């Protein structure tokens, strides 16, 4: 919104937006990996795992053994 008010969104703004979204997605995925592999928070029975977040749904498919 601010970029539009300032005169439009240029190529650099789009690159920055996409880069920021990719970094955020990578951080969330890495957090899910750490919860499972390093701290063990998402191992065990379903009731013992941390709550599934919409952005980190991958922790469930790791715990179910669908991917490793």
Looking at residue 24, what is its pLDDT? 92
Q: Where are the domains of the chain?
A: 2-63
Q: Is 8 exposed, middle or buried (0-12, 13-18, 19+ CB in 10 A)?
A: exposed
Please state, in angstroms and rounded to a whole number, the distance separating the CA atoms of residues 28 and 26.
5
Please state, in angstroms and rounded to a whole number, the distance separating the CA atoms of residues 49 and 3.
41
| SS3 call for 49 | coil
Q: Pick 46 or 17 by higher pLDDT.
A: 17
Encode pLDDT of 3-45 as tens digits. Answer: 667 777 888 888 988 999 999 988 888 887 887 788 877 776 7
């Amino acid at each position: 919104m601010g970029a539009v008010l300032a005169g439009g969104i240029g190529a650099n703004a789009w690159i920055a937006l996409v880069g920021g979204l990719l970094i955020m997605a990578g951080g969330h995925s890495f957090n899910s990996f750490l919860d499972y592999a390093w701290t063990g928070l998402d191992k065990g029975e379903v009731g013992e795992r941390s709550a599934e977040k919409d952005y980190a749904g991958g922790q469930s498919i790791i715990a179910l053994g669908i991917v490793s």
